[in-house]
Amino acid sequence: MDDGTQGVLLADASNAFNVINRKTALVNLRYLCPNLSIFATNFYRVPTKLYLSEGQVILSSEGTTQGCNIASPFYSISIRPLINSLSLTAAKTIFYADDGAGVGKLVALRSWWDTLCLAGPGLGYFPNASKSILLVKEPYLATAKTLFSDTTIQIISDGTRYLGAPLGSESFRETYVSNMVQEWCNQLEALAAASETEPQAAFAAYCVGLSKKWLF
């Protein structure tokens, strides 16, 4: 965090992809991405049939459909009005699908959270305070607890993970990276041991599995 930043608020949404307001999303998509809107409207304008293992059928009427190829862009573009509302606050905003974060001073982050709670439900984005995390610099920990005392947001000062990357103190980041590297080493050692009896299978697992995970 830079010198002017007091905290980072990582917002969690309850079943975000499953409860997004489909009708509102289709309307937003018509204006925000007309080309994708044509396909999305044809796909989502009527409930989708989901077939269960016993031959039963249930209808998917809200949110995105499990396994849909356009689920991520459909969701991300449709909540753009929410992101625009958050951008009007003094906090900086970043979103990756349903993973939202606000960065800035604590007062600005409180306004950011209130805006999220007010504007989100209309689009089907329901903030889950108990699973949201506010990471603050140590000197501002007491202030943060007072400012967010009426919420169940987790308030910490050491560090946390966001989109697979560590945020926080230097010691937290070093520990996080060390643990990750150790996990990679353990996986590679297990693969090497398996290669003694199954070399082709181990080679395939490395090429299509482990190496791709590292790249990601």
Closest CA to 77 of 127, 16, 9, 30: 30
Position 2 scores a pLDDT of 56
State the pLDDT confidence band at 3, using cuts at 50, 70 and 90: low
| CA pair distance 183, 98, nearest whole angstrom | 28
Sequence-distant (≥ 6) Cβ neighbours of residue 131 within 8 angstroms: 12, 154
Render pLDDT for 108-163 as a digit per residue (tens, 0 to 9): 999 999 999 999 998 888 999 999 999 999 999 999 999 999 999 999 999 998 88
Residue 98 has pLDDT above 90, yes or no: no
Q: Which amino acid is at 46?
A: V
Query: What's the mean pLDDT when you consider all of the chain?
Result: 88
Average pLDDT over residues 72-77: 88
Q: Check pLDDT > 70 for residue 70.
A: yes
What pLDDT sits at residue 156? 93
Please report the pLDDT score of residue 122 as a whole number.
86
Report whether pLDDT(1) > 80.
no
H-type helices in 54-140, by residue range? 71-78, 80-87, 106-119
Res. 47: pLDDT tops 90: no
Q: In a 3-state reduction of DSSP, which class is residue 93?
A: strand
Global confidence as pTM: 0.78
Tens digits of residue pLDDT in 172-210: 899 999 998 898 899 889 999 999 998 999 899 888 888
Give 49's pLDDT tier (boundaries 50, 70, 90).
confident
